[in-house]
Structure 1
């Protein structure tokens, strides 16, 4: 007696019971082989990706401040003034450059960039460029999950968002002042104790470009480490 196979719609044919089971078994084997091959390739790709992330993370702190050498013309006498106040540091071009290099090592240079861009924003005189710049600053530094998001509390972010609905020169004052205070109280004291500042005081000069510091990818999260814990086979 002939049976109609329904196990796999694509192989719905009429055949004897023995022949039908044999055909189904062969097609099932082929299907599993292809699936296992694809899964194996995916697993290898995922494993390689996680290993690359781990290696990148391990190299974050591989560069040392001792790699800095000076080519700027600032004198030790001028650099001494940077230690008198944060304002004096930011009033000097070379002071800003040295501080920026220090912040890059701490992965917080977006704070200084935001403060500097706010200073430029205040110089805009016409409404259209001011509107465009206000939107750009908000989306770049303040909006949640923005590419260069600075450390601001929720209330400050909301007040700034409301302020730029009708942009003015003072629209970013609150946020800018918050970031200024953060740098002054937190980063600036560490800068004064850093090798970068010490080298300048001793007559060495900073490189014009920052030496290949590897920055942590913002996409690298705690979950990636959890993957390593849960899959020890990637190290084999």
Structure 2
């Protein structure tokens, strides 16, 4: 009888983890699906506003993104100071991960950390069916062309993933995850260490409204083509 109870408890824990992963990957179901086109359209308008550099548009963008970005972060200054030693130490601390995610949202590049987290969760998969389903979800959300939260990867890396997605392994996203990690380490992480979000934590200052910065990755020609048709409504 005790063995049966232990087995049942283990199965419930596995089921809970699976639900959490797919909740992260797919949002809350139909409601999120219906919102996705609106969100993508809003992202395009935000990118356009950054391109044309009109101050009044930056003010509107700030209002739309300055709401609750993450839970309130409370950490000892000496603990936060350790995050400045390396990106690895920052991401290995729960509050550090929250603070960095909050910062990336101000730069409109949160897809990078969300992809990195998804890859970390993916590598914990045990069952073959889990690996297949999770790999497909990650590919559709972050890798394929025009994915909802497409990360900035070179053509070769994306091609290798696309060819292996039908028979994925726990290492299918290693190269892509490493690439995104390097981009964050060399670009966003260095700015995070100079940001008010981080400086307030290490100096024990009260939190303040978050200022927007530029998007960390450059616009491509295709992205500009996507938003060009919307120019008229902003002029």
Normalising by structure 2, we get a TM-score of 0.63
CA contact 1:68–1:206 (8 Å) conserved in 2: no
User: For 2:114 and 2:70, how far apart are their aligned partners in 1?
Assistant: 23
CA contact 2:164–2:172 (8 Å) conserved in 1: yes
* Pairs within 5 Å for 1:12-161: 58=57, 59-62=60-63, 71-161=72-162
1:42-92 C-alpha deviation (Å, 9 max, x unpaired): xxxxxxxxxxx69x9521134798x99994331000000000101000010
Normalising by structure 1, we get a TM-score of 0.63
Q: What residue is the counterpart of 1:176 in the other structure?
A: 177
Q: Which runs of 5+ in 2 are unaligned?
A: 1-44, 50-56, 216-222
User: For 1:72 and 1:166, how far apart are their aligned partners in 2?
Assistant: 40
Larger Rg: 1
Q: What residue is the counterpart of 1:3 in the other structure?
A: none
User: For 1:166 and 1:123, how far apart are their aligned partners in 2?
Assistant: 17
1:189-212 C-alpha deviation (Å, 9 max, x unpaired): 0000101001111214669xx98x
Quote how far apart the aligned CAs of 1:160 are: 1.1
Q: How many residues align?
A: 169
Q: What residue is the counterpart of 2:228 in the other structure?
A: 222
Q: Which runs of 5+ in 1 are unaligned?
A: 1-52
Q: 1:129 to 1:163 in 2, by over 3 A?
A: same
Structure with a larger share of its residues in helix = 2
* Structure 1 residue runs of 4 or more that deviate by more than 2 Å after TM superposition: 61-65, 67-73, 204-207
